Structure 1
Amino acid sequence: MAKSKLLRMDNIGIVVESLDDAIAFFSELGLHLEGRATIEGEWAGKVTALGNQQVEIAMMVTPDGHSRLELSRFIEPAVIADHRNAPVNALGYLRAMFAVSDIDDTLARLQKTGAQIVGEVVQYEDMYRLCYVRGPEGILIGLAEQLTNNRNPL
């Protein structure tokens, strides 16, 4: 029997309280709102094992069209856990890393939305400038500015 081949990663999901605030933050970062809808019913709950659910989602897409971020606001059932202020080394904690052309400009724009830098901008050898940022609701993202054409992954 042939092994199934991975085709791509479709998206990363983040649960939020305010879709509007999260959309504004990720729009300022450079993602575009691809669509927004309410998903509800027992069929949707079969995927998540939450039963009958109602969730409002917004799909954000990167400028190159290759990566997506699904923002979800659960209406039913109610959210049962809050990990927004967990440190970056907490088990299961999610952060997404974004490549940017100018980390200083990006930080200045994001800070206008209330985002705060975690720690400081650091330089990794002569290849990258990096930092973490907390956006609305404590959403943690990483920013990476590539300094050379050397594409060594971190």
Structure 2
Amino acid sequence: MLVKVWRDDGHGRWAMNFTSLDYVVVIVEDLDRAVKFYTEVLGLPLGHRSGDYAQFYLGTTRLGLYTRAAMSMTLGKPLRGPSPDAPGFEIGFKVSDVDRAFSELTALGASPAAPPTTRAWGQRTAYVRDPDGHLIELAQDLRSS
């Protein structure tokens, strides 16, 4: 897949080509707590960990965890945390059985955010939160009969 993003430089057009989504980084308060959640509750395999950063390999895309303190230093300014009523984003995972996944994850300590619900667009979804309040969507594609 090739995505083109056009930017006007004032003298015409310049194109930048994106070939894939490489990684997403989630900002966390406590890296140990977050790594424990993503490995022990979600069952993701830890790819590597170094200092204030940890990374999981999910097929061709990577999921990183980076501490808020380290990102604040990287950007040179303080960062606010997510608000429970305005999380800003979600991480979505496809599952084969959303009801079972939701039940198992909440039993392992994930905070429930929304129970399994059948959606008009042909999916059954549920939401849990990680220890920092980030939304994690569980999505099951429903087959039409």
Residue 73 of structure 2 corresponds to residue 60 of structure 1: no
Whole-Å Cα distance in 2 between the matches of residues 8 and 35 of structure 1?
21
Q: Which residue of 2 aligns with 1:22?
A: 34
Amino acid at match of 1:133: V
Report the equivalent of 1:143.
138
Q: Check whether the contact 2:95–2:140 (CA below 8 A) recurs between aligned residues.
A: yes
Label 1:4 to 1:82 Cα distance change in 2 as closer, same or farther (>3 A).
closer
Q: Does 1:120 align with 2:120?
A: no
1:20/1:105 Cα in 2 relative to 1: closer, same or farther (>3 Å)? Answer: farther
Q: Secondary structure at the match of 2:138?
A: strand
Q: What is the TM-score of this pair, normalised by structure 2?
A: 0.73
> 1:19·1:71 contact (CA, 8 Å) conserved in 2?
yes
Percent of aligned pairs sharing the same letter:
29
In structure 1, the gaps of 5 or more residues are: 39-55, 150-154
> Which secondary structure does the structure 2 equivalent of 1:136 belong to?
coil
Q: CA deviation at 1:128?
A: 1.3
CA contact (8 A) 1:126 1:147 kept: no
| 2:25 counterpart residue number | 13
Q: Offset at 1:108?
A: 2.5
**Secondary structure of 1:111's partner?**
helix
Q: Unaligned stretches of 5+ in structure 2?
A: 1-12
Structure number with the higher strand fraction is 2
1:35 paired residue number = 48
**Which residue is 2:96 aligned to?**
101
If the length of structure 1 is used for normalisation, what is the TM-score?
Answer: 0.69
RMSD (Å), alpha carbons: 2.6
Task: Give, in angstroms, the shift of residue 58 of structure 1.
Answer: 0.5
Structure number with greater Rg is: 2
Paired residues of 1:84 and 1:137 also in contact (CA < 8 A): no
Q: Which amino acid aligns with 2:26?
A: I
Deviation by residue 1:74-102 (Cα, 9 ceiling, x = unmatched): 445385412142335xxxx0211111112
Once residues 37 and 83 of structure 2 are traced to their aligned partners in structure 1, the CA distance between those partners, rounded to angstroms, is 15
**1:5: how far off?**
1.9
